[in-house]
């Protein structure tokens, strides 16, 4: 049996890692159901923490993935020919504009690896998706963070594009804009966003992250992929993890000019999207009935949950996604703990600099009612113990 190395007086190899990596704070995912069961002994748990589709997965996608099971001994199509072709047709581009990823997170990281380095900068908003600073720092780049829109603004906590434009300089290589934004839920209108893209220098990428687009489109949130022919420096990212209900198999994609896609593909890992994901995503893309139902029920649930939270005195940020950001009016950690003990998992967002807020996924009607009931029970318990 190999003995453990004796590091006394010696060098810890981890100390030789890049400083930008050693200084990283890892991404913290939502608490899994199994972890809550182990830690608290709670059963009958609902998870409203990670913006998953409460309706599950498209039946067509499940059937397509089952059909792939007999071929798991073979490597997947490394180029994702069929899925890329389907996505290209959906967005009106050629297949060489599509880059597949292990979730859209993968292509965001690839963009940073390809275009950032020490001395190069990325610009994003104060409360933007946590992966942007992580991927920027891991690549050795410098993050330039614009303050968010202030309280009282119609899109409070959202992207201040004027402030972001003021940070774009000669060393800026990427600007990240999540539309709608996670974790705040707010969005940028089409005219404003397009003017911003037009203002950015041609040698700087504008990455519009549209992970929640299917939910947002009915509210008029723009589809930036329609502008790809006008702006060679525009990149649009999408995912199958949210509305399509395929979070567990990890598949997303980027749409860009062929030149940018070629650069990303040079560092994309071979077979980064597995065969089940390729088959499931292609089938899900065609299951329009499932998506229409998911979007319709999310809109109804989002309205009902917003109304319910507001009736309890909690301030809710307007959202175009399948989640809400609720201001609890005090440090939210105690509320998070109270909900866990009642079998409801939500997402604290103190890591975003929002210690008084919880992000709540819009669930089914029954799940939304249970969340509101658990909050009321927590409030009553708190009042009784004072």
Q: What is the 3-state secondary structure (H, E, C) of the chain?
A: CCCCCCCCCCCCHHHHCCHHHHCCCCCCCCCCHHHHHHHHCCCCCEECCCCCCCCCCCHHHHHHHHHCHHHCCCCCCCCCHHHHHHHHHHHCCCHHHEEEECCHHHHHHHHHHHHCCCCCEEEEECCCCCHHHHHHHHCCCEEEEECCCCCCCCCCCCCCHHHHHHHCCCCEEEEEEECCCCCCCCCCCHHHHHHHHHHCCCCCEEEEECCCHHHHHHHCCCCHHHHCCCCCCEEEEEECCCCCCCCCCCCEEEECCHHHHHHHHHHCCCCCCCHHHHHHHHHHHHCHHHHHHHHHHHHHHHHHHHHHHHHCCCEECCCCCCEEEEECCCCCHHHHHHHHHCCEECEECHHHCCCCEEEEECCCHHHHHHHHHHHHHHHHHHHHCC
C-beta atoms surrounding 274 within 10 Å: 18
- Dig out the tokens for 211 from the structure: 């992970």
The CA-to-CA distance between both ends of the chain, in Å, stands at 57
One digit per residue, pLDDT tens: the chain, 386 residues?
Answer: 555 555 555 677 777 777 767 776 766 677 777 887 788 788 889 999 999 999 999 999 999 999 999 999 999 999 999 999 999 999 999 999 999 999 999 999 999 999 999 999 999 999 999 999 999 999 999 999 999 999 889 999 999 999 999 999 999 999 999 999 999 999 999 999 999 999 999 999 999 999 999 999 999 999 999 999 999 999 999 999 999 999 999 999 999 999 999 999 999 999 999 999 999 999 999 999 999 999 999 999 999 999 999 999 999 999 999 999 999 999 999 999 999 999 999 999 999 999 999 999 999 999 999 999 999 998 765 655 53
Give yes or no on whether 16-47+289-384 and 59-287 have one common fold.
no
Inter-CA distances, 82 with 285, 289, 290, Å? 12, 21, 21
User: Which residue has tokens 């004027």?
Assistant: 162
Closest listed residue to residue 325, CA positions, set 356, 298, 357, 364: 357
Kindly report each contact of residues 76-80 with a partner whose C-beta sits within 8 Å and lies 24 or more positions away, as own/partner.
76/271, 76/273, 76/274, 76/275, 76/277, 76/278, 77/275, 77/278, 78/270, 78/271, 80/273, 80/278
Listed in sequence order, the residues at least 6 apart from 261 whose beta carbon sits closer than 8 Å to its beta carbon are 96, 97, 98, 99, 254
Torsion angle of alpha carbons 156, 162, 168, 173, nearest 10°?
60
Q: How many CA atoms lie within 13 A of 75 on its CB side?
A: 7
Question: b vs e for 120-157, b when ≥16 Cβ sit within 10 Å of the residue's Cβ?
Answer: bbbbbbbbbbbbbbbbbbbbbbbbbbbebbeeeeebbb
CATH 3.40.50.150 fits 59-287, yes or no: no
Q: What integer pLDDT is reported at residue 386 of this predicted model?
A: 38
Q: What integer pLDDT is reported at residue 37 of this predicted model?
A: 78
C-beta atoms surrounding 350 within 10 Å: 14
Q: What integer pLDDT is reported at residue 382 of this predicted model?
A: 62
Domain boundaries, the chain: 16-47+289-384, 59-287
In the sheet that holds 315-316, the strands lie side by side as: 315-316, 323-327, 357-361, 347-348
How far is it, in rounded angstroms, from Cα 282 to Cα 347?
30
CATH 3.90.1150.10 fits 16-47+289-384, yes or no: yes
């Amino acid at each position: 049996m190999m003995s453990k190395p004796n590091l006394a007086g010696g060098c810890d190899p981890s100390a030789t890692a890049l400083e930008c990596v050693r200084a990283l704070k890892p991404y913290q995912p939502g608490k899994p159901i199994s972890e809550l069961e182990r830690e608290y002994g709670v059963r009958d748990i609902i998870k409203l923490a990670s913006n998953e589709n409460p309706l599950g997965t498209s039946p067509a996608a499940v059937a397509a993935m089952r059909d792939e099971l007999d071929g798991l001994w073979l490597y997947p199509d490394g180029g994702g020919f069929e899925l890329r072709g389907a996505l290209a047709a959906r967005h009106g581009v050629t297949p060489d504009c599509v880059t597949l990823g292990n979730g859209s997170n993968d292509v965001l990281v690839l963009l940073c690896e390809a275009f950032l380095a020490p001395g190069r900068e990325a610009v994003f908003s104060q409360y933007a998706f946590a992966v942007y600073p992580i991927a920027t720092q891991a690549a050795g780049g410098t993050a330039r963070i614009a303050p968010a829109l202030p309280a009282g603004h119609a899109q409070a906590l959202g992207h201040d594009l004027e402030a972001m434009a003021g940070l774009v300089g000669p060393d800026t290589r990427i600007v990240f804009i999540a539309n709608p934004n996670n974790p705040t839920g707010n969005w940028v209108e089409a005219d404003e966003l397009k003017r911003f893209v037009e203002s950015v220098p041609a040698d700087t990428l504008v990455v519009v992250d549209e992970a929640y687009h299917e939910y947002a489109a009915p509210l008029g949130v723009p589809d930036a992929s329609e502008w790809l022919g006008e702006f060679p420096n525009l990149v649009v990212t999408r995912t199958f993890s949210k509305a399509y209900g395929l979070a567990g198999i990890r598949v997303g994609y980027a749409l860009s000019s062929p030149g940018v896609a070629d650069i990303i593909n040079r560092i994309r890992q071979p077979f980064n999207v597995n065969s089940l994901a390729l088959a499931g995503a292609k089938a899900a893309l065609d299951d329009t009935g499932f998506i229409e139902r998911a979007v319709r029920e999310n809109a109804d649930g989002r309205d009902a949950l917003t109304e319910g939270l507001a009736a309890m005195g909690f301030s809710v940020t307007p959202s175009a996604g399948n989640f809400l950001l609720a201001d609890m009016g005090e440090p939210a950690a105690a509320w998070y703990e109270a909900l866990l003990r009642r079998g409801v998992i939500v997402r604290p967002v103190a890591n975003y600099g929002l210690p008084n807020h919880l992000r709540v996924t819009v669930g089914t009607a029954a799940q939304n009612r249970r969340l509101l009931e658990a909050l009321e029970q927590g409030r009553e318990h708190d009042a009784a113990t004072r």
